[in-house]
Chain A
Amino acid sequence: MVEITLIQAVTLALARAMEEDPRVLVLGEDVGADGGVFRATDGLLARFGAERVLDTPLAEAAIAGLSIGLAAQGFRPVAEIQFTGFIYPAIDQLVNHASRLRTRTRGRITCPMVLRSPSGGGVHAPEHHSESPEAMFAHIPGLRVVIPSSPRRAYGMLLAAIRDADPVVFLEPTRLYRASREDVADDGAGLPLDRCFVLREGTDTTLIAWGGMVREALAAADALAQEGVSAAVIDVATLKPLDAETIVASVGKTGRCVIAQEAPLTGGFAGEIAARLAERGLMTLLAPIERVAGYDTVMPLPRLEHLYLPNAARIAAAALRAMAYA
């Protein structure tokens, strides 16, 4: 076992999947000789050759469309979209084809593909490199939407995504790529793609987060502990299909929650979680549901980015607001 970063865990999972299944291909812009702009596919070309690691022309719709054709023919394509800011041309392919080929053909043609993309802010990237569009994908029936937030979860969830029989959008929090290291056993074990991970148990409040916000939620829980507040932390990890049970159960015990997302507030996935809690856990709530989110503004350029992105302090402050209710 070695300590590796999240991006290295992605590479490890890709290599493992390619090793165990000859149907697995990697394609995208600069994934070959360059090893991907974040190095997610580093070394794969040398190891698996140009027929399994394909540098595509610069065409995002076609990257998704090629993957659909390959998947329909029995391959297991893992496509990289260089940044989520460039993923929008591919959305037509996801909405109109990848997510519904199984339904449209009553199971005759299926689409086992993974579309990976670095997502979220916090790394002072240029324009169009920092947004968090996960809620858009979660709104598409027939897609799984996965966002790992640790090296181990990145490894296990990416393997599960590649092995899954249906299309998966796999969003990798850019800011966590090299933020921490963790022991990751390259044992080929997948993690479930329909379950939240309870990272910390608590009795007073539940902090619910995914992607880059998970680390902030954990830091907020530490800060809250200093104030004598015991906070549970849940990494949603798979937004679609949502594991509402785990969330409702935790909030049922704590009676309070803060849902943190980097994305703009309105129409964000925190709203969906809040709605589930209102439907199924209203009577257990001791305080209003708190959402901590990005603003309904255009994502600012790096100089103001820290003012836009939710952080541990904002999450902790929201939790304390909720604690102020009886």
Chain B
Amino acid sequence: MAHFDIGYRRCLAPDGRPLEALPDLAHDAETLIGLYRAMVRTRTFDAKAVALQRTGRLGTFASSLGQEAVPVGIASAMCAEDVLLPSYREHGAQLWRGVTPLELFLYWGGDERGSDFSGPRQDFPCCVPVGSHAPHAAGVALAFKLRRERRVAVAIFGDGATSKGDVAEALNIAGVWQLPAVFVVTNNQWAISVPRRRQSAAETLAQKAVAAGIPGEQVDGNDVIAVRQAAAAALERARTGGGASLIEAVTYRLADHTTADDASRYRDDAEVSRHWPEEPLIRLRAYLAKIGRWTKDDEERLLAATAAEIDAAASAYLATEPQPPESMFDYTFARLPTDLSGQRAQALAPVPATGPEPMTAR
């Protein structure tokens, strides 16, 4: 009979108190400050994006408010040559890896150039169809394994994605082929309106790893030290031939699903309020203050600098002209087929002003 245990990793209590001897990475205050800055930068980006959307200057946007420790903790443990395959709420990881705020604004503002990352050229763009990028991570990892490269593919998706066949197929293949991949479930408790308890009868989502024959663990997703430590262990295992892992980062979605959503239709404000004290920024800031490495002045300087950077990126985004119409056609194939060139010419031709009046809807 098979037995399994799912571990749970947490280093800091919500008030910033260390629960045990902290891992080595936490002994370097500069590392922790770097993680804190990245989480603040992510939250500042989110806030600006929501503000732009609310004023009609950005498309529908998915905020990562309250779960910044997951993308930042994961990405900070990755090497530059690894490949990130994000879902749509991982701007924190993308920013860490060198995707610019301008690129992110462009993407969410409806411009494909936002996914032509100048930084991490091999990272995948956001994946909107939930969980469908998990098999790509297996494919990228297979490429690394076949070329004997010490690189890892990292896919991040949500709790809802664990119900999908794509994710099960990817975990299974990554297990049976011992692929250098790390799969991260950002369990933020809500798949739009469906709470975690209605998503799966499994006690943890990390145990989905058990069926795939790979290690799985839960981690406090609001504790960036724990997330980073778990990611570092999984990445190291993958990099050294130990195969794939699954990390369930348990966090909470403080925001609506997207700017098009109204979470008050399906969850109590009281529930959201209860989770605010556990959010990841407070926790790390409290710890840094406790060890004498973060002051009110530091905080103010960081907020001002981050706001200036994000505001400048937003201005640059708003000043960016849309792409020319031919761009719709010019990336469909490597070479434009003759059959499509006719449609391209049609799209570029001016619509004649004369002729019969256009029909109107009745």
Contacts and interface: CB of A to CB of B under 8 A. Distances in A.
Interface stretch (B139-147, B239-247, B272-280): B139-147
Given A51-B146, A96-B132, A106-B113, A89 B165 contact: yes
Interface in B113-144: 113, 115-117, 121-122, 124-125, 128-129, 132-144
A107 B136 contact: no
B139 A73 contact: yes
User: What interface size band does chain B fall in?
Assistant: 35 or more
Interface string A19-49: 0000001000000000000000000000000
B240 to A, nearest CB: 20
Interface string A61-82: 1101111111111110100000
Given A62-B135, A69-B140, A103-B331, A194 B169 contact: no
Contacts of B128: 96
B166 A61 contact: yes
B334 interface: yes
B324 interface: no
Contacts of B170: 62, 65
A123 to B, nearest CB: 29
Contacts of B176: 57
Nearest to B337: A241
B166 A108 contact: no
B332 A69 contact: no
Contacts of B133: 65, 97
A142 B333 contact: yes
Interface in B316-362: 327, 331-335, 337-340
B309 interface: no
Contact of B121 (A66, A101, A108): A108
Given A69-B136, A242-B339, A102 B141 contact: no
A244 interface: yes
19 contacts: A25-B146, A59-B172, A61-B165, A65-B138, A65-B170, A66-B139, A69-B139, A70-B139, A70-B140, A75-B143, A77-B139, A89-B165, A101-B125, A102-B331, A106-B113, A142-B333, A166-B333, A166-B334, A241-B339
Interface of B: 83, 112-113, 115-117, 121-122, 124-125, 128-129, 132-144, 146, 153, 165-166, 169-170, 172-173, 176, 327, 331-335, 337-340
